[in-house]
Amino acid sequence: MTEFTLAHLSDPHLPLPPKTSLRHLASKRALGYLNWRRNRHLIHRRDILDTLVADLQAQQPDHIAVTGDLVNIALVNEFAPARQWLESVGPADRVSLVPGNHDAYVRSTAHRFAETFPDYISGDDATPGFPYLRRREAIAIIGVSSAVPTAPLRATGWLGAPQRAALEALLQSLAGERVFKVLLIHHPLQSRSRHKRLTDAADLIALLQRHPVDLVLHGHDHVHATVRIDTPFGAIPVVGVPSASAMNDRHRPSAAYNLFKISEGNDGWRCEHRIRGFQASEQIVDLRAPELL
């Protein structure tokens, strides 16, 4: 492998369908719908998302990671447009997907995500589910799901013991191989908000300290974030990204995406991180100089 370019975007929050039946807006969905109508539709713009994706595609990445929240309140009629959008980003063999909490917003439609995107959440064995493993050259892309339905005003997530056990077995199977391991998850591994956190983050971090990966990518917080998890084998970079459709949000950065150039040298792996996105205008620029992770 000479050099592999991995792009990462998250939280597109595609617009709600223009005709939304009030009979589908009970409980948590009613709050989410009101939030969209009053505020979020002004921030999450389809034109901004389309411009960002076009710029990303112009970089000609080898693979694209999308870390969830394609929809808003998980109405049945949100999923088909989300599928169409994802296909415009790239085919399933070049795009790896994990769900976000908005994709599993309520229990009644929590199954729709897997039904809509089976080929985007399948490993190389073509079986949908989590965790999955995709090998692209010397890159091992591992997807897990932290998306679960929650009570109103909560956006927590968790993997659960069965998924963590399967992830540990998968990472054990890769031990000793010369592969660069990338873990995709929606929720960050560290959060300041009790109502938005990954509730079993401590267990996942302990697992990664036993069986480390080389890079963790997430969304959820809609901010630029790079933290590191210390392990006996070295630090793991954990990188987040703003919403791919956000503009003019007074509290969080405008839309952006990550680019990682991964290569192998005599002394191990080299991963260069670059960020492109919107800053003070509706024009995409490099937001910072490339840096090694």
Torsion angles phi and psi, residue 137, rounded to 5 = 55, -125
Report yes or no on 23 lying in a domain. Answer: no
CA 280 to chain centre: 25
pLDDT tens digits, one per residue of 102-114: 999 888 888 999 9
Report yes or no on 162 lying in a domain. Answer: yes
**At residue 36, does pLDDT exceed 70?**
no
* Both tokens assigned to 126: 């073509």
239 beta partners = 217, 226
pLDDT tens digits, one per residue of 193-204: 888 999 999 999
Once rounded to an integer, what is the mean pLDDT over residues 183-202? 93
- ∠ CA(87), CA(105), CA(219), 5° rounding? 60
Report yes or no on 21 lying in a domain. Answer: no
Of 15-24, 58-67, 89-98, 123-132, the range with the lowest mean pLDDT is: 15-24
Report yes or no on 22 lying in a domain. Answer: no
Report yes or no on 207 lying in a domain. Answer: yes
Report yes or no on 138 lying in a domain. Answer: yes
Report yes or no on 239 lying in a domain. Answer: yes
Number of domains in the chain: 1
Q: Residue 191 sits in a domain of what CATH number?
A: 3.60.21.10
Q: Is 52 helix (H, G, I), strand (E, B) or coil?
A: helix
At position 221, the amino acid (one-letter code) is D
Nearest Cα to 247, choosing from 279, 273, 269?
Answer: 279
Report yes or no on 112 lying in a domain. Answer: yes
Once rounded to an integer, what is the mean pLDDT over residues 262-281? 91
Answer for the pair 191, 227: CB distance below 8 angstroms, yes or no: no
In sign, the C-alpha dihedral spanning 146, 109, 84, 42 is negative
The reported pLDDT for the residue numbered 57 is 98
Nearest Cα to 158, choosing from 209, 104, 118, 211?
Answer: 104
Nearest Cα to 149, choosing from 37, 17, 16, 28?
Answer: 28
In this structure, the strands spanning 215-217 and 236-240 are: parallel
Task: Please state, rounded to an integer, the average pLDDT across all residues of the chain.
Answer: 92
pLDDT tens digits, one per residue of 37-76: 677 777 899 999 999 999 999 999 999 999 999 999 888 8
The reported pLDDT for the residue numbered 20 is 61
Q: Which domain holds residue 245?
A: 4-16+28-292
- C-alpha to C-alpha distances, 64 to 28, 93, 292, nearest whole angstrom: 31, 10, 19
Of 27-41, 77-91, 136-150, 159-173, the range with the lowest mean pLDDT is: 27-41
